[in-house]
Structure 1
């Protein structure tokens, strides 16, 4: 399936095509009725196929997704050869066109769903999986081409994965949203509907299997460009996730950019395979360059409207430029439109000019990371232009960038950023009553703890409620359920659950108290109320030469530094700094004396806490405490060693910057945990997140000083 802009590997299937098949199959899923339980291998619950189009998003046919009950389905996938299948709940986020389907409708009725017959399924919880690469090209007529497909079907009474090739016979319909691609040359058995259709020359998904022929071979598929027909939000777009189309494809492009960057993986990426196939996107870019460009475009806010994007394209191509249908909606769509109109001798210049216009385009909103994203896009343009278009052209690009720098910076305008500057915010974070849980680890019984539950008042007084001794760590949630419930009853206000401060010994700072459930069916503590961690035994950390790195300052110097950092973070704002991961590569946390040298605005972030690669990993959090920090973020690592983590880096940085003042972080982390619990994909990056928030001016009980809520 190609238009002649790229030549594939000669001689039929080879290593590149086998690698492409593996990538497609890794992203292909099967879809079952919700609540199938242990019947996931039973054909009776099977609805059809689909594929991961972005992290936590599945693209399939509307007639497949809507065959479930109440818009709920179960997605079954494999994380790799020999790793077995996993199942996760999903919900149909959107379908085009939307229509009612009668209960117990048969396959014939479902298969006649009007075109384009596409649906996006949103997972209800975060999982680690591979994603397919979806073309950014506009629709085209693919005559006499061969495509590859993948899906699931019932074979011999069992669910079996299958794949094959079809020939493109032409189209059905045309010049409208109901256009379909006609396929022939192979039998498309029931169940493969919703599976991906792949151009084996370019190595990218171009369509979704829709139906099988009534008689004979083949069937039809829908071009993925038809997703542009998804409804545009009626109201103001203030964040990426307000528009499902932009949210999915921005996440798609960032995923593939981060996967390509990953230095700790020996698996081929889609760009690797596309390069082996000899693909040359738009005659101007290598697959790696295209992947990096799309990732940088996806770091920016989307176009303010389709009309604005069309105006940008017309400024480059002239008013005679053919506008694809459906019209482009995202930056990636605009790039794909350039492929069809550029002359060979000016293709790269057109791409670079497009990137420069995107950099200065009007924004529907601005995030804390937008300015850095614009600079990163400029660096890509500058490096790509080196030695290729010519000195005069490179000089013109530099002049445009300088003009861009002269413009006043665009302030973040998200709801969170505005709230950080409102007078009501100060009242919201005024000292209130809070619950305090203290754990003391028994040196001779490291698997057991003594504990104390207290209630703290807004003026600093602390009242002890209950104590316990020698409780095994694994039994703490059950034992503490009643004492904590009593503390919460004394502190909670209508609609405002009180904070829970958890004072832990330094060797237990990673304890997942926020994930505890106090009873069957109860939400995790961190999803119901702000939960923060404090260090209960700073005085027991080593004195003198610090075995965690460098010379430890005196107690007075350390206290002064902690207070100075704390004041800065709450008066002037903060900036996140990932200290244990570089573009997906696990690195050691710097020694404590190096951490002390970071600017006072720094909030250390641990991306891979629990992914132990080095001997000193268990003391990573202790190093941060040693470094004089009262605020830090981390997440408990649950992914594979080569799982991409760029989204966590990006979102953690935006969250810290968006807070405005560090005292909003407990609320923001609570909102993220609640979002993960509620199945909101825009929060899934924060799965397992924890917040260290330890006010040096409010020592814990036992020091003779009063304690105040953060």
Structure 2
């Protein structure tokens, strides 16, 4: 229940606060984090916000009693409005709220079984409600499942609850089956002057509208995006050697009837995470066909119909085994079906996901199943691997050549610390032409504090951009600083002329005022291929912070590799800075840095996963500035699939266009 309470949130109208906590104030109801940056609640709660915008009060730190506030936008509501004349909001009465900026928070574990709530006897309801002394308090109670209004194929099926009192404001809160340790539903309504009420099963989210256009990325289908993020979240925390937090898999393993059937909670969390690395099924029909091909599985018995890989796995739990090994064999056959399935789109990571799932299948079968069964699996994998090789040969090429920033003008901002005054910096701004000529714009050698720089430099940067921007193609901004200042977030500065962060308006990259050997820099830059790169995390091993390798080891990394510093942070200590210097000494002209603060127990697998995808998607070195620019625009546009990149910086230092000496800058009037 502690895990549930940590993820349960309050939903308010925009502009609300603790001064409006009363029953008649801005409080709308409850909800809970179902996946990173996603909240599940009732439609009748979420749609009472103005223009589909709400404020969410949540617990950012599980050890703190204070709540934080973040705005959210209703992305999907089922149905989207209450029919005219209807006394209550019809079922399924569910809504998904997307946070409008990235924050740290915990998530519940959601069942993958169909009609799991109707199979529960006793459930716990959690939500926020007005307290007798004023304000709001979290409330929980125990109810019994008494049946349902509507059959399993009825779109408006709701579950009847009896038992404890459900208070006003608890609507949208989670319904938890403690016997199995999973969230199975959402509180919908209470009975006036009576105990009990109604709830909606989690599986009703499967009726969320299917995209009408082809799905070309995970984010194109909200249902798949949310549940893939949910499963990766729990797998990452279960598998992380760095995290010291108690996970859902830990708690579920101690139950008398843990979920997951023959898999058990920990194995199941791991498997669901691996399945979530794949593109979703091409369609519900294709998933049903896979389930129908398995012995003893009746896919049509599961309503609403399974829609994602996790739903298909949940459908296997209800089969009646013919012998001791049958349930586990069934799961592994299903996994092989996922490996062989058609894909709605391709991603560079699919091949890695396939290898990861096969290794899981192979390990489990070797530990527990017969040699004959293992041989059949090996034959199936050989066929799948052949298909993967063929698809790799048909890999999509970049649609167009990336912008080559060395062939057009760009803006340079150089910051240099004053040696005689602490935390004061001289600055110079110039416009670089493709000919190598540097045109000075402005400079200051009197020393400025870092927090005054955005205002102090606004006019000069605006003028510099005006000199080299082109219609529809803003110029690149290169920020030249010492490695210890790579955490300076110039990309978040806002100019009055734009009203948006610099990194959203234009590509912003880092350059270093310190460089390693010039010949090594030039050789590595020239040897980097025009297409094909991969990320190489150099300061984090198995999610544990490690020392950046010595230069001799870094030199062994292929020319296609882009170093990633997962643990740089906002204020790096001397050891971190020294690690960056070793990367520069090796001659790397391109690197990614995560500047968001991290703790020793930070779970960073999602960052590793997404950084690798971003580097691969950029196709070529010259595509990386635009790729990072797209990610920053995505964060600004509240696209949750880009939230992982909040705080990412790109070091991009072309040795063919070296920084000019200070003599040239000091010619500015």
Tell whether the structures are fold-level matches, with TM greater than 0.5.
Answer: yes
Post-superposition offset of 1:267: 2.0
How many angstroms apart in 2 are the aligned matches of 1:523 and 1:605?
Answer: 27
Q: Describe the shift of the 1:38–1:514 C-alpha distance in structure 2 as closer, same or farther (beyond 3 A).
A: farther
How many angstroms apart in 1 are the aligned matches of 2:360 and 2:557?
Answer: 28
Aligned to 2:121: 145
Aligned to 1:275: 253
Cα deviation, 1:316-357, whole Å, max 9, x if unaligned, reads: 136855431111110000000111124162100000010011
Does the residue aligned with 2:229 lie in a helix, a strand or coil?
helix
Aligned to 2:480: 503
Aligned to 2:290: 312
Q: Describe the shift of the 1:319–1:129 C-alpha distance in structure 2 as closer, same or farther (beyond 3 A).
A: closer
Q: CA RMSD in A?
A: 2.4
Post-superposition offset of 1:507: 2.7
Aligned to 2:40: 59
Post-superposition offset of 1:533: 0.6
CA contact (8 A) 2:242 2:602 kept: no
Post-superposition offset of 1:592: 2.6
Q: Describe the shift of the 1:185–1:296 C-alpha distance in structure 2 as closer, same or farther (beyond 3 A).
A: same
Aligned to 2:235: 257
How many angstroms apart in 1 are the aligned matches of 2:467 and 2:572?
Answer: 44
Aligned to 1:30: 10
Post-superposition offset of 1:655: 0.6
How many angstroms apart in 1 are the aligned matches of 2:583 and 2:436?
Answer: 26
Post-superposition offset of 1:521: 8.0
Q: Describe the shift of the 1:398–1:453 C-alpha distance in structure 2 as closer, same or farther (beyond 3 A).
A: same
* 2:178 corresponds to 1:200: yes
Aligned to 2:512: 535
Q: Is there any run of 5+ residues in structure 2 with no aligned partner, and where?
A: none
Residue of 91, 100, 116 corresponding to 2:73: 91
CA contact (8 A) 1:172 1:180 kept: yes
Does the residue aligned with 1:697 lie in a helix, a strand or coil?
coil
How many angstroms apart in 1 are the aligned matches of 2:457 and 2:572?
Answer: 34
Q: Describe the shift of the 1:588–1:42 C-alpha distance in structure 2 as closer, same or farther (beyond 3 A).
A: farther
Number of aligned positions between the proteins:
658
How many angstroms apart in 1 are the aligned matches of 2:284 and 2:108?
Answer: 25
* 2:434 corresponds to 1:458: yes
Cα deviation, 1:622-673, whole Å, max 9, x if unaligned, reads: 2221221100001112355534322111110011011111101000101111
Cα deviation, 1:190-236, whole Å, max 9, x if unaligned, reads: 00000000111110000000000134110011000000000000001
* 2:58 corresponds to 1:77: yes
Does the residue aligned with 2:154 lie in a helix, a strand or coil?
coil
Cα deviation, 1:416-446, whole Å, max 9, x if unaligned, reads: x85x623x42567672221111112222224
Does the residue aligned with 1:182 lie in a helix, a strand or coil?
strand
CA contact (8 A) 2:491 2:502 kept: yes
Q: Describe the shift of the 1:70–1:493 C-alpha distance in structure 2 as closer, same or farther (beyond 3 A).
A: same
* 2:357 corresponds to 1:377: yes
How many angstroms apart in 2 are the aligned matches of 1:243 and 1:321?
Answer: 22
Counterparts of 1:201-350 in structure 2 under 5 Å? 201-317=179-295, 321-343=299-321, 345=324, 346-350=326-330
Q: Describe the shift of the 1:283–1:320 C-alpha distance in structure 2 as closer, same or farther (beyond 3 A).
A: closer
CA contact (8 A) 1:533 1:691 kept: yes
Aligned to 1:7: none
- Name whichever of 454-463 and 291-300 sits farther off: 454-463
How many angstroms apart in 1 are the aligned matches of 2:426 and 2:220?
Answer: 47
Cα deviation, 1:547-569, whole Å, max 9, x if unaligned, reads: xxxxxxxxxxx433322322343
Does the residue aligned with 2:58 lie in a helix, a strand or coil?
strand
Q: Describe the shift of the 1:614–1:457 C-alpha distance in structure 2 as closer, same or farther (beyond 3 A).
A: closer
- Name whichever of 594-603 and 638-647 sits farther off: 638-647
How many angstroms apart in 1 are the aligned matches of 2:501 and 2:523?
Answer: 34
How many angstroms apart in 2 are the aligned matches of 1:505 and 1:200?
Answer: 54
- Name whichever of 209-218 and 518-527 sits farther off: 518-527
How many angstroms apart in 2 are the aligned matches of 1:413 and 1:117?
Answer: 46
Does the residue aligned with 1:276 lie in a helix, a strand or coil?
coil
* 2:592 corresponds to 1:633: yes
Q: Describe the shift of the 1:85–1:381 C-alpha distance in structure 2 as closer, same or farther (beyond 3 A).
A: same
Does the residue aligned with 2:592 lie in a helix, a strand or coil?
strand
CA contact (8 A) 2:117 2:185 kept: no
Aligned to 1:364: 344
Q: Describe the shift of the 1:198–1:38 C-alpha distance in structure 2 as closer, same or farther (beyond 3 A).
A: closer
How many angstroms apart in 2 are the aligned matches of 1:501 and 1:40?
Answer: 46
CA contact (8 A) 1:633 1:689 kept: yes
* 2:146 corresponds to 1:169: yes
How many angstroms apart in 1 are the aligned matches of 2:186 and 2:452?
Answer: 49
Aligned to 2:469: 492
Does the residue aligned with 2:166 lie in a helix, a strand or coil?
coil
Q: Describe the shift of the 1:705–1:467 C-alpha distance in structure 2 as closer, same or farther (beyond 3 A).
A: closer
CA contact (8 A) 1:63 1:117 kept: yes
Q: Describe the shift of the 1:638–1:408 C-alpha distance in structure 2 as closer, same or farther (beyond 3 A).
A: closer
* 2:538 corresponds to 1:579: yes
How many angstroms apart in 2 are the aligned matches of 1:575 and 1:705?
Answer: 37
Aligned to 2:548: 589
Aligned to 2:521: 562
* 2:561 corresponds to 1:602: yes
Post-superposition offset of 1:486: 0.4
- Name whichever of 468-477 and 656-665 sits farther off: 468-477
Aligned to 1:649: 608
Post-superposition offset of 1:459: 2.7
How many angstroms apart in 2 are the aligned matches of 1:121 and 1:321?
Answer: 30
Q: Is there any run of 5+ residues in structure 1 with no aligned partner, and where?
A: 1-20, 542-557
Residue of 402, 420, 443 corresponding to 1:467: 443
- Structure number with the bigger relative contact order (C-alpha 8 A, sep ≥ 6) is 1
How many angstroms apart in 1 are the aligned matches of 2:117 and 2:4?
Answer: 23
How many angstroms apart in 1 are the aligned matches of 2:391 and 2:299?
Answer: 34
Post-superposition offset of 1:154: 0.3
Post-superposition offset of 1:166: 0.7
How many angstroms apart in 1 are the aligned matches of 2:119 and 2:338?
Answer: 34
Residue of 626, 642, 645 corresponding to 1:683: 642
Q: Describe the shift of the 1:440–1:615 C-alpha distance in structure 2 as closer, same or farther (beyond 3 A).
A: closer
* 2:49 corresponds to 1:68: yes
How many angstroms apart in 1 are the aligned matches of 2:488 and 2:636?
Answer: 19
CA contact (8 A) 1:153 1:190 kept: yes
Q: Describe the shift of the 1:197–1:643 C-alpha distance in structure 2 as closer, same or farther (beyond 3 A).
A: farther
How many angstroms apart in 2 are the aligned matches of 1:236 and 1:142?
Answer: 35
TM-score by structure 2 length?
0.94
